[in-house]
A and B are shown apart, each in its own frame.
Chain A
Amino acid sequence: MKSFVCRCEQVVAIVRKDFVVSLRRRAALAAMMMFALTATAALSLSTSGVVEPKILSALLWVIIFFAAGAGVAGTFDDEAQAGTLPTLKLYADAQAVLFGKMIHVLASLISLTVFIVPTFLILFDADVADGLLMVATLLLGLIGLSAAGTLTAALTTSAVAKGGLFPILLFPVTLPIFLPAISLTEAALTGAAFDGGSLVMMMMFDAMLVTAASILYDYL
């Protein structure tokens, strides 16, 4: 059994590298933001912004999910296309690569959320009754999406039709996060009493996704 060794400096270096690359080539981040904005505008226009809180919270998570797909799917593929992935794996430990990418994906998704959630609330004229619950739910949801999304992006590196494949692979494994996230977001919007067990379930599932991604990435 391998003992745990923190390759923290390698993880930080990979996060920094990905951050610099994403600043230089803004396509992935821009695609993610624009997808979310376009979807939000289309939904708000078609419904005149009048939607029940339950549907509203489901719409928000659907937008985040598919926008994340637009930005995260190429996490490893961009490296593979540029021919830098083998070199990266040569210089850094596999776990450092995975966690470096995962942290970068999480940071990208947080940026997306910081941009899209206020826009979404404005376009649907919705208020947040419980801000703390909203932030906690979004953060837990994004952690799960980052863990599952990073491993899924690694799986689809050698596949054809990646764009379509990514959400197909990601949705089933993140559904146990989606269901509680939608009900908790609804509670955050309405201020209704919420089930603390759903938050615990999201935390547990996040931990499981991160652990499984870490174990399984070594086999790729």
Chain B
Amino acid sequence: MNKILIVLTAAIVAAIIFFVPPIRGLGELAKIIFFHVPTAWVAVIAFFTGAWYAAKFLRTNDFTADELSARAAKLGFVFVLLSTASGAIFSKLTWGAYWNWDPRQTTIFVLILIYGAYLTLRSAVADEKVRAKVSAVYSLFSVLTVPFLVFIVPRMFFSLHPEPVLNSSGRVQMDTVVLIVLIASVIDATLLFVQLMRRS
């Protein structure tokens, strides 16, 4: 699995450098989008994975589930920080400012706050059993905000973000090479997350 991941990552990096055309008016640095989108995707996947293991822990009292929930949160925290930093750079290139509280920036920032709060809570409780229980409850409690942050808040406020690849008209509005490389990088980042979760 590790070897496949290394080859896939190297192939994607090569494709981004040599095959993806430069984005008009933004230069080569704008290719950071191929890093930003996958890391944001994994940050959200990690959030739901953490919640799933939290629910499993509350159902079974299996401490392995608690450990996996915590690991997903730690990985999610790293990925959300990477996504926020790369997104801020892309934002500066395209909109002229690192930060403007665009609804999706707000959503990703709240994800940072939730991961940070979860990890702080874990570090603030000494007893292992209590820590596992309160962390699992908070993980599930915070997941309730996701539908509002992801689906409702971005539609309540004006967004500078481009339309999703598959938009309401059902058409793919992206160069084929760009689309293939983007999908490949999302798959690569997801596999990397799965591999990191499996590490004992």
Pick the interface stretch among B86-94, B120-128, B192-200.
Answer: B120-128
Closest B residue by C-beta to A167: B117
Q: Are A155 and B153 in contact (CB under 8 A)?
A: no
CA distance A212 to B146 in the complex (A): 14
Contacts of A195 in B (CB 8 A): 156
Segment 200-220 of A: residues with Cβ below 8 Å from B: 201, 205, 208-209, 212-213, 216, 219-220
Q: Are B125 and A158 in contact (CB under 8 A)?
A: yes
Known: A165-B120, A172-B117, A198-B156. A220 touches B144 (CB 8 A): no
B137 partner, pick from A165, A179, A205, A220, beta carbons under 8 A: A220
B148 partner, pick from A156, A158, A201, A219, beta carbons under 8 A: A201
Contacts of B127 in A (CB 8 A): 158
Interface presence of A50 (CB below 8 A): no
A179 partner, pick from B58, B124, B156, beta carbons under 8 A: B156
Q: Are A160 and B124 in contact (CB under 8 A)?
A: yes
Interface presence of B11 (CB below 8 A): no
Q: Are A172 and B114 in contact (CB under 8 A)?
A: yes
CB distance from B142 to the nearest CB of A (A): 6
Q: Are B137 and A208 in contact (CB under 8 A)?
A: no
Interface presence of B116 (CB below 8 A): yes
Interface presence of B130 (CB below 8 A): yes
Known: A165-B121, A176-B153. A208 touches B144 (CB 8 A): yes
Segment 154-209 of A: residues with Cβ below 8 Å from B: 155-156, 158-162, 165, 168-169, 171-173, 175-176, 179-180, 195, 197-198, 201, 205, 208-209
Interface size on B, residues (CB 8 A): 28
Q: Are A173 and B145 in contact (CB under 8 A)?
A: yes
Interface presence of B42 (CB below 8 A): no
Q: Are A176 and B134 in contact (CB under 8 A)?
A: no
Contacts of B130 in A (CB 8 A): 158
Q: Are A216 and B110 in contact (CB under 8 A)?
A: no
Contacts of B140 in A (CB 8 A): 212, 216
Contacts of B124 in A (CB 8 A): 156, 159-162, 165
Q: Are B141 and A176 in contact (CB under 8 A)?
A: no
CB distance from B134 to the nearest CB of A (A): 5
Contacts of A197 in B (CB 8 A): 156
Contacts of A176 in B (CB 8 A): 145, 148-149, 152-153
Q: Which 8 A-B pairs have the closest CB atoms?
A: A176-B148, A159-B124, A172-B113, A172-B114, A155-B134, A216-B137, A158-B130, A168-B117
Give me the interface of B with A, judged by CB distance under 8 Å.
58, 110, 113-114, 116-117, 120-121, 124-127, 130, 133-134, 136-138, 140-142, 144-145, 148-149, 152-153, 156
Q: Could you list 13 A-B pairs, sorted by A, with CB under 8 Å?
A: A155-B134, A156-B121, A158-B127, A165-B124, A168-B117, A172-B110, A173-B144, A176-B148, A176-B152, A180-B156, A201-B152, A205-B148, A219-B133
Q: Knowing that A158-B127, A173-B141, A212-B140 touch, tell me 7 more A-B residue pairs with CB under 8 angstroms.
A: A148-B141, A156-B121, A165-B124, A169-B117, A171-B117, A179-B156, A216-B137
